[in-house]
Amino acid sequence: MSEVTIFGLGLMGSALAKACQKDGVPITVWNRTIEKAEALKPVNVSIAQTISEALAASPVSIICVDDPSSVLTLFGNSEIWSHLEGRTVVQLSTSLPKQVRQDQTWLTERNADFLYGAIHCGPQDLGTKDGHILFSGPSSVYKPVEGLLSHQGGKIEYLGEDIAAVSVLDLAWLSTRFGEFIGMLHAANICQSEGIELQKFIEMFPDNARIQHHVGTIRDGTYDQRTATLSVWRASLELMKQQAIDAGMDAGFPNLVGGLFDRAVQADYSEEHVMALFKVLRGDAGTVD
């Protein structure tokens, strides 16, 4: 038996798997497209062909896929429910507070435990001192898996019993990130359109790692970095819109930013770095390069 099964081997799921492999933790992996599982280094890893096999392989299952409803997407088929009994499911796919509450109820009804977590670092940070993940859910569920989760990095934080707390705080945090993105993109556009080198703007913020990285990406045109894609950021924007609808809030901010992301998707930048938005915002040559 493995210690943990990882569902999803995109950029983040693969990084979760590699962090376990680095520490010698036996894992089982499942991915919708099996080639991504076969691409992992064959150390301490079993590849599950089916979801039932993947669930049965370990007491703990971690999900990290680009689908906020993935608990139901993966486990909704009643034929696999017997494999959920007595298991702990840790959801690391970005999701909605409402969805997280529903997932907890749904899994509890099937005698499975549930934790929700939000990853607050890049894939390259997992398994290092900079690996940062926030968790919420019952402490009786968190405590037994704390040691296992600690393989993911030096900043594993538990924020309390309320299962939806981390989802709420994550969406709030994401909102600040989108605000920063739009501000940085417009700042870069001002500089370039007036003939000022981006490096001069970056040097105004020697202690701001985000401006160094993001405006540096625009300066260098390195939009092909293997980190969160524009498409993954856009998916979280869709969640911000949905949360506003669910809570009866104004959705003006995510709608406005979402319009910019839509233009980048239409220009085929989905798989690039989020700063590829600059190529549509700078407005030259009909908005694309």
Binding site for ligand NAP (CB under 6 A): 8-13, 31-33, 36, 64-67, 73, 93-94, 119, 122-123, 227-229, 232, 236
**Taking the complex as a whole, how short is the minimal distance between the CB of residue 283 and ligand NAP, in angstroms?**
28
Q: Which residue reads 């990406």 in tokens?
A: 217
User: By C-beta, is 12 or 185 nearer to ligand NAP?
Assistant: 12
User: By C-beta, is 172 or 190 nearer to ligand NAP?
Assistant: 172
Distances (CA, A) of 237 to 60, 197, 240, 243, 275: 29, 30, 5, 10, 15
**Taking the complex as a whole, how short is the minimal distance between the CB of residue 285 and ligand NAP, in angstroms?**
29
Say how far apart CA 166 and CA 60 lie, in whole Å.
20
User: By C-beta, is 98 or 282 nearer to ligand NAP?
Assistant: 98
User: By C-beta, is 94 or 243 nearer to ligand NAP?
Assistant: 94
Closest CA to 16 of 1, 34, 30: 30
**Taking the complex as a whole, how short is the minimal distance between the CB of residue 175 and ligand NAP, in angstroms?**
14
Which backbone phi and psi does 34 adopt, to 5 degrees?
Answer: -65, -20
Alpha helices in the chain (DSSP H): 11-22, 35-38, 51-56, 70-75, 97-109, 139-149, 165-193, 198-202, 209-220, 230-247, 252-266, 277-281
User: By C-beta, is 9 or 112 nearer to ligand NAP?
Assistant: 9
Q: 6: helix, coil or strand? A: strand
Q: Which residue is nearest to ligand NAP (CB)?
A: 10
**Taking the complex as a whole, how short is the minimal distance between the CB of residue 16 and ligand NAP, in angstroms?**
9
**Taking the complex as a whole, how short is the minimal distance between the CB of residue 188 and ligand NAP, in angstroms?**
21
**Taking the complex as a whole, how short is the minimal distance between the CB of residue 200 and ligand NAP, in angstroms?**
29
User: By C-beta, is 46 or 191 nearer to ligand NAP?
Assistant: 46
State the DSSP H helix or E strand holding residue 154, giving kind and residue range, or none if neither. strand 153-158
